[in-house]
């Protein structure tokens, strides 16, 4: 089911609001999500999920279109198919899924890695992402609109409702916005040069797009280990480090990333976060 919920909502003393949400939507609109460059995003990767688990998901909970648009000129399908045509479209949609499952299984049988075999199943897959931003207004203006792609439109309205209904927590300069560690207090103010333990925990949890490990347990040490793998190896995979951020009125690097001034991403505190040389 398409869904949007708030994970963490904070506002700095200069009234710059930083909001982190969890979105779930059909995998086939993911490329449209990626066009919004003000957003920091991390998603559950289909490359990492075993094929058997992926097949189970698309059998038990496949993406079913919420709008069966009637063929017409242009990008928008304002009119839907009739009931009988919808029934047939659903039949063909799921028949195509079943054929893709057979092909994916055969590819695995001959030795193909899941990172490619899983791709055949993407039209019927849900994807969950963590998204953080200091400005969602452009996305809401474009996607909360009758001409937007129907599934993205539904997601945008749900995200806007969650955003409007949320009251951000006021934080002081030097305090942190830490998604997925809401059970842990902000803690003491720190300098930019000192990365706190729980900021690393937050980055690790955002990287796996879950509160929990795959075994269903919280594990602070594993969260920090994941952070260290992301930030401590070349090439660095720094995108999960964009979600934890410190309220900061001054940035000596003059680099706020994709956030508005007032929030300094953990990413910007780590040397080498922007790869500038070839391997």
pLDDT 10s digit of each residue in the chain, 279 long? Answer: 999 999 999 999 999 999 999 999 999 999 999 999 999 999 877 777 888 989 999 999 999 999 988 887 776 777 888 999 999 999 999 999 999 999 999 999 999 888 888 899 999 999 999 999 999 999 999 999 998 999 999 999 999 999 999 999 999 998 999 999 865 555 545 555 567 888 998 999 999 886 666 556 778 888 888 888 888 876 778 889 999 999 998 776 678 889 999 999 998 888 777 655 555
For the whole model, what pTM was predicted? 0.88
The beta-carbon contacts of 262-265 under 8 Å, at least 24 apart in sequence, are: 262/12, 262/13, 262/14, 262/15, 262/16, 262/18, 262/134, 263/12, 263/16, 263/18, 263/134, 263/177, 264/192, 265/40, 265/241
Q: How far is CA 259 from CA 3, 54, 141, 239, in A?
A: 24, 34, 19, 13
Beta strand pairing status for 263-265 and 126-133? unpaired
Q: CA nearest 259: which of 171, 129, 136?
A: 136
Q: How far is CA 135 from CA 12, 208, 222, 273, in A?
A: 14, 24, 32, 23
Rounded to an integer, what distance in angstroms lies between the CA atom of residue 208 and that of residue 44?
Answer: 7
Predicted local distance difference test score (pLDDT) of residue 215: 59
Predicted local distance difference test score (pLDDT) of residue 72: 76
Q: Say if CB 245 and CB 263 are below 8 A apart.
A: yes
Phi and psi of 79, rounded to 5°? -105, 140
In the structure encoding, which two tokens stand for residue 134, read together?
């200091």
Q: 269: which DSSP letter? A: G
| Number of residues written out for the chain | 279
Phi and psi of 15, rounded to 5°? 70, 15
Domains for the chain: give ranges and CATH numbers. Answer: 3-165 (3.30.1360.170), 171-269 (no CATH)
- CB contact set of 216 (below 8 Å; sequence gap of 6+): none
Element at 115 (helix H, strand E): helix 114-117
In 53-181, beta strands by DSSP E? 126-133, 169-170, 176-177
Half-sphere exposure of 137 (CA within 13 A, CB side): 4
Nearest-Å Rg of the Cα atoms of the chain is 21
Predicted local distance difference test score (pLDDT) of residue 261: 92
- Give residue 158's Cα distance to chain centre: 15
- CB contact set of 187 (below 8 Å; sequence gap of 6+): 176, 196, 198
């Amino acid at each position: 089911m398409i869904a949007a919920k708030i994970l963490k909502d904070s506002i700095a003393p200069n009234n710059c609001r930083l909001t982190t949400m969890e979105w779930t939507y059909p995998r086939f609109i993911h490329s449209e999500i990626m066009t919004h460059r003000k957003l920091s995003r991390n998603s559950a990767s289909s490359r990492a999920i075993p094929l058997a688990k992926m097949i189970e998901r698309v059998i038990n909970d496949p993406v079913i279109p919420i709008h069966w648009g009637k063929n017409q000129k242009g990008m928008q399908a304002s009119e839907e198919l009739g009931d009988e045509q919808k029934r047939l479209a659903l039949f063909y949609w799921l028949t195509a899924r079943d054929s893709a499952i057979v092909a994916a299984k055969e590819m695995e049988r001959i030795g193909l890695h899941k990172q490619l075999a899983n791709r055949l199943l993407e039209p019927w897959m849900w994807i969950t992402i963590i998204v953080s931003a200091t400005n969602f207004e452009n996305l809401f203006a474009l996607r909360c609109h009758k001409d937007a792609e129907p599934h993205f439109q539904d997601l945008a309205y749900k995200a806007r409702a969650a955003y409007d209904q949320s009251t951000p927590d006021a934080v002081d300069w030097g305090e942190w916005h830490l998604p997925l560690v809401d059970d842990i207090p902000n803690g003491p103010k720190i300098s930019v040069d000192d990365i706190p333990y729980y900021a690393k925990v937050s980055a690790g949890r955002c990287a796996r797009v879950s509160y929990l490990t795959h075994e269903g347990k919280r594990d602070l040490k594993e969260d920090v280990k994941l952070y260290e793998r992301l930030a401590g190896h070349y090439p660095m995979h720094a995108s999960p480090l964009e979600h934890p951020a410190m309220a900061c009125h001054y940035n000596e690097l003059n680099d706020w990333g994709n956030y508005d001034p007032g929030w300094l991403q953990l990413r910007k505190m780590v040397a080498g976060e922007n790869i500038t040389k070839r391997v």
